[in-house]
Amino acid sequence: MLAQHDYRYYVLDDPQVTDGEYDRLLIELRQLESAHPQLVTPDSPTQRVSGTPSAAFGEVVHQVPMLSLDNAFADEDIVAFDRRLHERIGTEGELDYVAEPKLDGLAVTVIYREGQFSQAATRGDGVTGEDVTANVRTIRAVPHTLRGKAPALLEARGEVFMPTAGFERMNARAAERGEKVFVNPRNAAAGSLRQLDPRVSAARPLNVFFYAVGAASGADLPPGQWQLLQWLRELGLPVSPEVRAVRGVCGCLAYYHDIGARRRALPYQIDGVVYKLDARAAQERVGFVSRAPRWAIAHKFPAEEASALVNGIEFNVGRTGVLTPIARLAPVFVGGVTVSNVTLHNIDELHRKDVRIGDTVIVRRAGDVIPEIVSVVRDKRPQFSTEVVLPARCPVCGSVVLRVEGEAAARCTGGFTCRAQRQESLRHFASRRALDIEGLGDKIIEQLVEQGLVKSPADLYALNAAQLAELERMGEKSAANLIAAIEKSKQTTLARFLYALGIREVGEATALNLARHFGGLDALMRADEHAIQQVVDIGPVVAAQVAAFFASDEHRNVIRALQDKGVKWPDVERPRAEARDLAGRTFVVTGTLASMSREEAQEALVARGAKVAGSVSRKTSFVVAGSEAGSKLAKAVELGVPVLDEQQFLKLLEAGGP
């Protein structure tokens, strides 16, 4: 019965019992077996962990060598691959391929004799591998007995991997206990499988997908890769649900781009896709080159990790004076872009990771996620590396740097006298989601501040085209365009205006909630901390920041000056009571939506009584994920928060209530 549950869970992906129920059954079986030892069969689920720690792994010589794959990165490489196959096979029409995810794990071969699990080995050098029978036996996804009519001998080949959620849970637990953490799920899977004590492997959340057959006898192999995968599945061996039969190069590339976009939402890591010519007769015709088949190719995603040299560590001063350590790297291509600056967030993070000038570090950039330093390669640390300490004075204005007890951030105390803070405030004010002044780039802001033309955002509205045309990189035409853009920005919304002010702790979602709640700026400026706390999603910390911001004369003056210059917004319509059918639910909107801006989506949700939050937590009811959604989507998947794509989201808005 437990084997049946394993089959439903791992092969059919359709479990009939909860994990708890499964564990209860396993305990019951153990009790039964200890009372009646004569009933214990070698393929009993209780016998997964057997054998004791060994000093080393035995060797296994593969009857059929375990091949590797040629790699391709660019679409053109796939076009060339397909062309070569056409030439060798001599056919005209499009070829049939099977496209599979390239799992980022460890290749294994599992030998079944007369349908019974008998031995498992790693790939090793392709000819000789390590005997990991005892460890693979502990993986619940690997059946001990094949289903249906099993061949006399079957060598099933596939990839052992660790699902991302299991990996993170395991690492979190290890970190809590002060034990070693693994860098990524691949290393964790490899490390777990190569444990000398199978009891340790058994405790690790390993899984497997099969994708090939080595030696086989006593059955006719299906005539193509697609049917082979179906056959493996029928035998009870898990096959990735993402495998697809595709036609021609177009089919291959469509698959690559589709799964690439969904990659982060998959429960396990993949580092590319594999295309395999479907027909076995054709495979045999084209054969192999050295260790790799000519009929298959791995189309990899851009590497997400690379090593780089730290040339320097500097402190950047932000809008609110926060000093952020930035590592300046020797440029490195990672995750599809060249990275040369990586933030270390704050001084604690810098010290925790112990990054020093001269170090070699591992840089990671997954998709559109900002690059980060994963770790320092200790072996490569030069003899005299320079440790970095928090500067006592602001590197930009020389004011004293203060660090409030209990806070991670250290701040320059210069306020608006600090050029960096002024520049950053202006940059934020003009940014796309704030007042959206097109053409007011960093270089221009820098000059405006340096020349004393602009001290506060209100000064932007006093500039004229002649002044702008004087600046470097500015012609008359672009000066006129910028003046027009500044003029256009006067017509805005209250939420954008509040966001643009750069109040600490007030991001877009909070600005929107404030605007919705108070309806107008005067009401908000009159409100005290207590009144501000009545706004959805605003707690005492944010309320204090907001109240303090509006209590400052300097800020009130800037606001008045902006209004005098003509910055205005329509009265905000408060949500109607009868439309509050999403009340009590919290949404996070991430990625790019095709039919509306993120702000419009948030407004629509708030209008229906929903809360809109900036980050995903267990309390989030739904995450709305547009294209190129990144870490927030990943977080939602990790926490099991339901994710709505744009279609589902639009339906929800239309239907009125989930």
Nearest to 569 by CA among 479, 453, 491: 491
CB 234 → ligand IVH: shortest distance, Å? 18
Q: 């500044």: which residue's tokens?
A: 486
Token representation of residue 363: 């840089």
CB 212 → ligand IVH: shortest distance, Å? 5
CB 167 → ligand IVH: shortest distance, Å? 17
Any contact of residue 429 with ligand IVH (CB under 6 A)? no
- Phi/psi-derived region of residue 450, left when phi > 0, alpha when psi is between -120 and 50, beta in every other case: alpha
Which letter does DSSP use for residue 119 in this model? Answer: E
Q: Which of 85, 95, 107, 511 binds ligand IVH (CB under 6 A)?
A: 107
Between CA 84 and CA 638 the distance in angstroms is: 42
Judge contact between 339 and 332, C-beta under 8 A. yes
Among 99-107, 443-451, 452-460, 621-629, the segment contacting ligand IVH (CB under 6 A): 99-107
Cβ distance to ligand IVH smaller for residue 102 or 517: 102
Token representation of residue 143: 């059946």
Footprint of ligand IVH on 206-235 (CB under 6 A): 211-212
Judge contact between 325 and 344, C-beta under 8 A. yes
CB 207 → ligand IVH: shortest distance, Å? 13
CB 81 → ligand IVH: shortest distance, Å? 14
Footprint of ligand IVH on 447-486 (CB under 6 A): none
Nearest to 614 by CA among 594, 627, 598, 626: 598
Residue 98 carries which side chain, given as an amino acid letter?
V
Active-site residue flag, 102:
yes
Cβ distance to ligand IVH smaller for residue 103 or 562: 103
Between CA 236 and CA 217 the distance in angstroms is: 18
Beta-carbon neighbour count of residue 29 at 10 Å? 17
Nearest residue (beta carbon) to ligand IVH: 107
Between CA 97 and CA 271 the distance in angstroms is: 19
Footprint of ligand IVH on 269-328 (CB under 6 A): 274, 293, 296, 298
Cβ distance to ligand IVH smaller for residue 100 or 155: 100
Judge contact between 453 and 467, C-beta under 8 A. yes
Cβ distance to ligand IVH smaller for residue 123 or 422: 123
Give the angle subtended at the CA of 52 by the CAs of 47 and 56, to the nearest 5°. 125
Between CA 527 and CA 529 the distance in angstroms is: 7
CB 426 → ligand IVH: shortest distance, Å? 50
Cβ distance to ligand IVH smaller for residue 7 or 268: 268
CB 515 → ligand IVH: shortest distance, Å? 50
Q: Which of 155, 159, 278, 508 binds ligand IVH (CB under 6 A)?
A: 159
Residue 255 burial (10 A CB sphere; 0-12, 13-18, 19+): buried
Any contact of residue 156 with ligand IVH (CB under 6 A)? no
Footprint of ligand IVH on 68-97 (CB under 6 A): 68-69
Q: Which of 5, 48, 62, 102 binds ligand IVH (CB under 6 A)?
A: 102
Q: Which of 6, 82, 96, 100 binds ligand IVH (CB under 6 A)?
A: 100
Among 85-93, 100-108, 496-504, 613-621, the segment contacting ligand IVH (CB under 6 A): 100-108
Beta-carbon neighbour count of residue 379 at 10 Å? 6
Q: Annotated catalytic residue: which of 102, 353, 611, 635?
A: 102
CB 33 → ligand IVH: shortest distance, Å? 36
Site map 31..70 versus ligand IVH, x via CB under 6 A: ------------------------------------xxx-
CB 70 → ligand IVH: shortest distance, Å? 8
Cβ distance to ligand IVH smaller for residue 295 or 461: 295
Residue 544 carries which side chain, given as an amino acid letter?
A
Q: What is the DSSP string of 10-26?
A: IISS--SS-HHHHHHHH
Residue 351 burial (10 A CB sphere; 0-12, 13-18, 19+): middle
Cβ distance to ligand IVH smaller for residue 296 or 347: 296
Between CA 254 and CA 561 the distance in angstroms is: 54
Nearest to 194 by CA among 143, 124, 132: 132
By CB under 6 A, the count of residues binding ligand IVH is: 15
Among 102-110, 168-176, 421-429, 637-645, the segment contacting ligand IVH (CB under 6 A): 102-110
Cβ distance to ligand IVH smaller for residue 122 or 590: 122
Identify the bridge partners of residue 393 per DSSP, sorted by sequence position: 400
Any contact of residue 123 with ligand IVH (CB under 6 A)? yes
Give the angle subtended at the CA of 314 by the CAs of 309 and 316, to the nearest 5°. 130
Residues with Cβ within 8 Å of 352's Cβ and at least 6 positions away in sequence, in order, are none
Cβ distance to ligand IVH smaller for residue 89 or 292: 292
β-pair type (288-289, 292-293): antiparallel
Residue 144 burial (10 A CB sphere; 0-12, 13-18, 19+): buried
Active site members: 102
Tell me which residues touch ligand IVH (CB under 6 A): 67-69, 100, 102-103, 107, 123, 159, 211-212, 274, 293, 296, 298
